[in-house]
Homo-oligomer: A and B are copies of this chain.
Amino acid sequence: MKTIDVCLSPDLMHLYRVDDRKVVIVDILRATSCMVTALAHGVAAIKPFAKLDDCLAMKAEGYYTAGERNGEKVDGFDFGNSPFEYMDPKLKGERIAFTTTNGTQAIARSEGAKEIIIGSFLNLSSVTHYLKEGSDNVLVVCAAWKGKVNLEDTLFAGALVELMKESIEPDCDAPLAAQRLYNLARYDMVDFLKDSSHVKRLNRLNIHKDIQFCLTPDQYDVVPRLINGSLII
């Protein structure tokens, strides 16, 4: 039977093998939720960058620039980090260069994986279906907050473990912990997360609507995959 493991922080990536498995990157608030939304609404490709300057440089190549640092839009960028921005029809067929405090860092740290895909509650069932179909082991990489474990990414990891428990076995304790937290939270995730550090941080930025949307399962039937450095569906 194949296994699923959960890396609760990119700073623990050295403990996990990736070359033989599918890696699911998750940054619920809000990087991977934005990526899924953008690609579902017709964006052609998203090129993730760990470094701000590298991202900004892509303007010269006809990319829109997008993302955040510490939760806020970057000066000179075309788009910020709210999923609602990525529903804009003018983005259809366009390419976006994207960098965020945590999400795109987690992608960079997963280099060498057999495959990298993007997960969020918005495409939870599609991701689950895709992982169940394949024969590869799975590693869920939580983007966390500057290395510190967060609740919302852990809940998503737990949701995947819960949904795949018949076909995939948890490896080690992190998937078990995540699964139990998800089962505790699943019927009201907004309420469960109200004391979490990032929700508090984002509420100060007045984006409660974003949080609510990012915690809504199955809005889109897409599985973004990293191919030659770009996320496509």
Interface size on A, residues (CB 8 A): 27
Instruction: From B12, B146, B173, B198, give the contact of A150 (CB < 8 A).
Output: B173
**Distance between A8 CB and nearest chain B CB, rounded to angstroms:** 6
Copies of this chain in its oligomeric complex: 2
Q: Indicate whether A181 reaches chain B with its CB closer than 8 angstroms.
A: yes
Closest to A16 in B: B148
**Distance between A1 CB and nearest chain B CB, rounded to angstroms:** 15
Interface flags, A192-204, vs B, CB<8A=1, else 0: 0001111000000
Please list the residues of chain A having a beta carbon within 8 angstroms of any beta carbon in chain B. Answer: 8-9, 11-12, 14-15, 145-151, 154, 170, 172-174, 176-177, 180-181, 184, 195-198
Q: List 23 A-B contacts (CB under 8 A).
A: A8-B8, A8-B149, A9-B12, A11-B11, A11-B14, A12-B147, A12-B148, A12-B149, A15-B147, A15-B148, A145-B172, A148-B172, A149-B172, A149-B177, A151-B173, A154-B177, A172-B197, A173-B196, A173-B197, A176-B196, A177-B181, A180-B184, A181-B181
